[in-house]
Amino acid sequence: MSNDERAKLILKILNKIYPKTPVPLKHRNIFTLLVSVLLSAQCTDVNVNNVTKNIYAKYNRPEHFVKLGRKKIENLIRSIGIFRIKAKSIYNLSKTLMKKYNGRVPKTFKELEELPGVGHKTASVVMSQGFGFPAFPVDTHIHRLAQRWRLSNGKNVVQTEKDLKRLFPKKNWNKLHLQIIYYGREYCKARECYGLSCKICTTCYPARKKPIITKKA
């Protein structure tokens, strides 16, 4: 089975299991989506949602966080990992948005990636889930599964993104990256499937006997 054939099969399985793909991070607008994506680094979506549900009821625009200041932002997100670094990023990007973009989140990769604390993956999520622009954000689940399914060699997330974009039609990217994340959390878990037991692994590699060791992102 070629990589292209495998990609078509994977797409078929995922579309059947996940016909709908709600955005996992709860948000009120593009700005709060951006903040939630920043907060999700080294943290589960569930934890982020639990923390932000009370924050966004009061604070959901850049000017709100500028007025709060770093220390108050730290107190609001204290239960989230590396909260001091994240509070600094949220405060600084809020100031930048107010100064350069009149409080609005820019709609290009270049402008997003120039914001404090915003890397390519975060920008890709905002472009995809916020603006509907075709993008393929690669998180730890996607990086791991791309290796298990032999869709990428796992050298780094940049290479993984390129490989997946080449294999799958652009029209599927926004939905597919969420489908892979959901599937990885539910069926092809890091410490359970090991490339040997879930439907995609057994369908694509029925003769596989040894666990697949993946490289971290």
Structure confidence at residue 157 (pLDDT): 92
pLDDT of residue 217: 74
Residue the block writes with tokens 């996992």? 24
Is there a single domain that holds both residue 109 and residue 43? yes
- The pLDDT, as a whole number, for residue 196 is 95
Could you give the CA distance from residue 170 to residue 176 in angstroms, rounded to a whole number? 10
What is the pLDDT averaged over residues 149-156? 90
94 falls within a domain = yes
* Catalytic residue chosen out of the listed positions 121, 155, 170, 209: 121
pLDDT band, very low/low/confident/very high, at 213 (cuts 50, 70, 90): confident
**Does the active-site annotation cover 121?**
yes
CB atoms within 10 A of CB 36: 25
Same-domain check for residues 16 and 86 = no
What is the pLDDT, as a whole number, of residue 216?
A: 82
pLDDT greater than 90 at residue 68: yes
Residue 47's φ and ψ, nearest 5 degrees, are -65, -45
* Domain endpoint, select from 130, 160, 189: 130
Domain count, the chain: 2
Which domain does 47 fall in, by range? 30-130
Distance CA 163, CA 139 (A): 14
**pLDDT tens-digit profile of 156-192?**
999 999 999 999 999 999 999 999 999 999 999 999 9
Q: Does 213 reside within a domain?
A: no
The per-residue pLDDT for 57 is 96
- The burial of 207, by beta-carbon neighbours within 10 Å (0-12 exposed, 13-18 middle, 19 or more buried), is given as exposed
| Residues 212, 145 contacting (CB under 8 angstroms) | no
Is 40 within the bounds of a domain?
Answer: yes
CATH of residue 69:
1.10.340.30
What b/e readout covers 74-101, taking b as 16+ CB neighbours within 10 angstroms?
bebbeebeebeebbbbbbbbbebbbeee
Please report the pLDDT score of residue 3 as a whole number. Answer: 87
**pTM of structure:** 0.92
State the catalytic residue, choosing from 26, 139, 170, 175.
139
Q: Mean pLDDT over all residues of the chain?
A: 95
Q: For this structure, is 139 an active site residue?
A: yes
